[in-house]
């Protein structure tokens, strides 16, 4: 009989049955993916980025293909916090019983605070993921995440308003991600999520114009994995709070590598759009890879690559 492999992790007191979490924007509110497998097998998932008011999002086209990845410029399309709470979460309760991660965005500190206060009252939510790093909107998102003082200000305000652990999602589109990470930790963040997408673009050679309606968008997919891994490594060295690592993860081996760099759990983004069953396949393959690498408890490998 083989050795039992323990996939469970804990994020700021919130217990997850495994470390695999679909990333916000790549899993909606779970309804489309439940057609393919039992999504209750996931550790959690970060639901669609939610703002105080409904948003239609950016003009089309919103997606462009790239080598080893994709660009998106959806622009935080969502029904608004009140409809998420009154409609999406009750519907989700029928098929998902694990703690949820609420991805919250805004265009002012007051908007972030209002959303955090509202979503904190929902018992389905285990963690709040404060998105201060979206590159696809103007006047919000990355504007907060690109400056340490701004990041600290919104983190501190939301921490006061939130009854749930607060994880701040960091942008890679900065000179020094560790400076932002330290500022968020000092302002009271319970954890960090990184990385959000890299800012990129494509040009249509026929029209000689940018492919995306918003001109630029967020680049994600396998090509960004080494960049994400490097930034998780750096932030792990800089802070003491837990990290959720993401960026180009598509296999069980990627999960192990990201956790060795310092992540306590991981999120899978663009790979869900290529293969809707990828998270299921990763969870099922993790015990085999752990066995191959003589890992009994997945928590033991967090930060294992550091001296």
Q: What span, in angstroms and rounded, lies between the C-alpha atoms of 111 and 116? A: 9
- Across the beta sheet with 69-72, the strand order is 63-66, 69-72, 217-220, 198-200
- 269-293 b/e with 16+ CB inside 10 Å = b? bbbbbeebebbbbbbeebbebbeee
Catalytic residue among 26, 115, 116, 134: 134
Q: Is 277 among the residues known to form the active site?
A: no
Residues carrying an active site annotation: 134
């Amino acid at each position: 009989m083989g050795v039992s492999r323990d996939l469970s992790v804990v994020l700021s007191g919130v217990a997850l049955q495994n470390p695999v979490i679909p990333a916000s924007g790549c899993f909606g509110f779970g309804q489309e993916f439940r057609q393919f497998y039992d999504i209750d097998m996931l550790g959690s998932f970060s639901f669609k980025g939610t703002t105080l008011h409904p948003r239609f999002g950016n003009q089309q086209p919103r997606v462009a293909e790239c080598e080893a990845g994709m660009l998106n410029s959806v622009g935080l399309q969502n029904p608004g916090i009140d409809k998420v709470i009154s409609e999406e979460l009750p519907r989700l309760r029928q098929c998902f019983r694990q703690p949820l991660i609420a991805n919250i965005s805004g265009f002012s500190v007051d908007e972030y605070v209002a959303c955090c206060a509202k979503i904190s009252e929902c018992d389905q939510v285990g963690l709040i993921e404060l998105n201060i790093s979206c590159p696809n909107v103007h006047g919000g998102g990355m504007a907060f995440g690109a400056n340490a003082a701004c990041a600290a200000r919104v983190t501190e305000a939301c921490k006061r308003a939130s009854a749930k652990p607060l994880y701040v999602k960091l942008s890679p589109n900065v000179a020094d991600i560790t400076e932002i990470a330290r500022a968020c930790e000092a302002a009271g963040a319970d954890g960090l999520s990184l990385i959000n997408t890299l800012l990129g673009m494509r040009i249509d050679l026929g029209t000689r114009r940018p492919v995306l309606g918003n001109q630029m968008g967020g680049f994600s997919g396998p090509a960004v994995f080494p960049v994400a891994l490097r930034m998780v490594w750096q932030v792990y060295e800089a802070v003491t709070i837990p990290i959720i690592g993401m960026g180009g993860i598509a296999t069980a081996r990627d999960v192990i590598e990201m956790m060795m760099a310092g992540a306590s759990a991981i999120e899978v983004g663009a790979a869900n759009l290529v293969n809707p069953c990828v998270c299921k396949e990763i969870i099922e393959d993790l015990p085999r890879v752990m066995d191959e690498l003589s890992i009994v408890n997945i928590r033991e490998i967090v930060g294992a690559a550091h001296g």
